[in-house]
Amino acid sequence: MAALQQQQQLQRQLLAQQLLLQQQQAAAAAAAAAAAALAAQPAASAASTSASTQDRKSREIYVGNLAIGVVTSDMLRELFNTILANQVSDPVNAPPVVNVNLDSSGAGKGPQSGRFAFIEFRTRELTDAAIQLDKLELCGRPMNIGRPKGYVPPSQQQQILTLTSAVMAAMGGAAPAPGASALASASSLPVSGPTNVVLLEGMVTCGTIRDENERKEILEDVQQEVVKCGPVLGLAVPMPPASVTNAEPSRVYIKYSSAAEADRCRGMMDKRKFDDNVVQALFVTEGEFVRAQGGEWVAKPGLLMQGSAAPAGALPGPPGMGLPGLGAAAVPAAAPAVGGLALPPGFTLPPGFTLAGALPGLGLPK
């Protein structure tokens, strides 16, 4: 009996030790989870702040070379609101301009006047339209209009977000494939957001594109069509290598100045029929465009990590078709109007503002 009681007491002690060990392990796991959550909060907050900053910068322009003591924030607001009024549905209650930050260095020389200003617009499309007004004269001085410092194009933003997500997933305990890194994983991801480059696949077969005369005609037809979506900065038709059969779809790359213009092109061309062929339109990186312009046939088009520079030794395609092997055509931008100013289609000037003089400028109402 004494031996049995001693054995039961020993079992109770072992059970108590097991329960204590389990409690300690649970407490340690909870503490680790809390520490991980606490560490993730600054990163998430920083990521949120960065995204908010990039969104604002994508809707902001820098306006420089202003007449100190003459140009005010109200004047700039009225000017851009009036010129871009037809670009919004309700210009009275939701005008194009959201905010105007004017340089304070001109204090004492006029009411709210300075050398430069930052103007925030309601949408990215309005910002793209406002940038086209670069060198527009105000009070006898051409305004320098451009992107602010720290602006990141949408295509690069998408790449940064994808890489950041991959790195955070790896740090969070996701087991990468043997020998693979976060960058290697991201390299296989397709481009999901709009970029300023569109790839048209399947307009004609590779056998057709290999013919010099056919290739020139295809480029002319494409240029006449895609220019409807915005100024085309360049076209590229890489020559298929010998390993690609004549029956496979050809590729035509179109580069625009903005992702909004490329988005319009993709919407217009995707699933469209061309000589009984169904066209597939997709976004690609600017790095892939450079490679295609250099004559490279990319193994897997439309991926994020396609490179950002031309291959070693590659030369930019010359205007026109140039060398037969390159298949690249540089499309010149529209020539400016006489006097250096051409308002884009649909733009209007505010009441009382006129274009006058040898160099067109904005004449302020007297």
- Residue pair 253/203 in contact (Cβ under 8 Å)? The answer is no
Least confident of 102-116, 276-290, 312-326: 312-326
Return the higher-pLDDT residue of 326 and 277. Answer: 277
What pLDDT digit, counting tens, does each position of 87-98 carry? 889 999 999 999
Which CATH number goes with the domain that contains 90? Answer: 3.30.70.330
Sign of dihedral through CA atoms 183, 188, 193, 197? positive
pTM: 0.39
Least confident of 46-50, 99-103, 154-158, 235-239: 46-50
pLDDT over 70 (residue 110): no
Greatest extent of the chain over all pairs of C-alpha atoms, in Å: 118
Strand partners, 131: none
Give me the pLDDT at residue 161, please.
66
Tokens of 102: 């004017």
- Residue pair 236/298 in contact (Cβ under 8 Å)? The answer is no
Least confident of 12-21, 75-84, 219-228: 12-21
Tell whether 328 is covered by a domain. no
Give me the pLDDT at residue 9, please.
74
Domain of residue 61, residue span: 52-146
Task: Give the end of a domain, one of 248, 275, 294.
Answer: 294
> Residue 134: helix, strand or coil by DSSP?
coil
- Binned at pLDDT 50, 70 and 90, residue 25 comes out as confident
Task: Give the end of a domain, one of 127, 146, 165.
Answer: 146
Task: Give the end of a domain, one of 269, 294, 319.
Answer: 294
Mean pLDDT of the chain: 75
Burial, 273: exposed, middle or buried (Cβ in 10 Å; 0-12, 13-18, 19+)? Answer: exposed
Tell whether 232 is covered by a domain. yes
d(CA 353, CA 146): 22
What 3 state SS string does 24-66 have? HHHHHHHHHHHHHHHHHHHHHHHHHHHHHHHHHHHCEEEEECC
d(CA 358, CA 354): 13
d(CA 167, CA 181): 9
pLDDT over 90 (residue 26): no
